[in-house]
Amino acid sequence: MFCSRVEEEKLMVESGEFEKRIREERIRFEQAKHLHEEQRRFEQQKESDSDRILREELRRRSEEMKRRLEELKAAELRRQSVLEERQREEEERLRKIAEKNEEEKFAEFTSTDQPMIEPVTKKIRYRLRPSQCAAINKFTRVFKITDPSSWIAKNCQFAKRASNMIFVSFLREIHVFDVQNF
């Protein structure tokens, strides 16, 4: 069991070489491990950079979408406002047309171009809108006009030019005041 010195030296040389190989393997393993760590860190950095870029892109797109949405809201409000204005204008136009038509119809019935040849007792038929009758009644009430025909004769230029009896007949017909005042 005793080894000779040569064998022992041989064994030591072999074990020295073995240890040297083990050390070299450990160094290579450490280098590979270190290289692997570096690659992993590089990949993480690359991923975080791409994540950061993606986040920035998403944030930019989000802000762009918000801005566009605000623009669309403002445009919709402007469009709605214009539409409402057009509707009001159309309603006003139609109202004016209706008023003009009513005035023309009223003018046909209230025309004083025809001479008064017939006796005053003849009934003259006038058609007034209820709002006109109400306005006349309110006017005589508010200003406490007890004799509308004399008030009209004093204050209305048209009445001064036209026959007072036309207005008296007109007022009798629409029942603005009591007929017995005449």
Domain ranges of the chain: 1-81, 111-181
Q: Quote the pLDDT of residue 172.
A: 62
Question: Tokens 């290579």 sit at which residue?
Answer: 28
Give the tens place of pLDDT for each residue, 66-83: 999 999 999 999 999 999
15-42 tens-digit pLDDT: 777 888 888 999 999 999 999 999 999 8
Task: Write the CA distances from 94 to 87, 104, 127, integer angstroms.
Answer: 10, 15, 22
Q: How is residue 145 annotated by DSSP?
A: -
Stated as kind and residue range, the H or E segment containing 159 is: helix 157-161
Find the mean pLDDT for residues 126-147: 77
**pTM for this entry:** 0.34
Return left, alpha or beta for 162; rule: phi > 0 is left, psi -120 to 50 is alpha, else beta.
Answer: beta
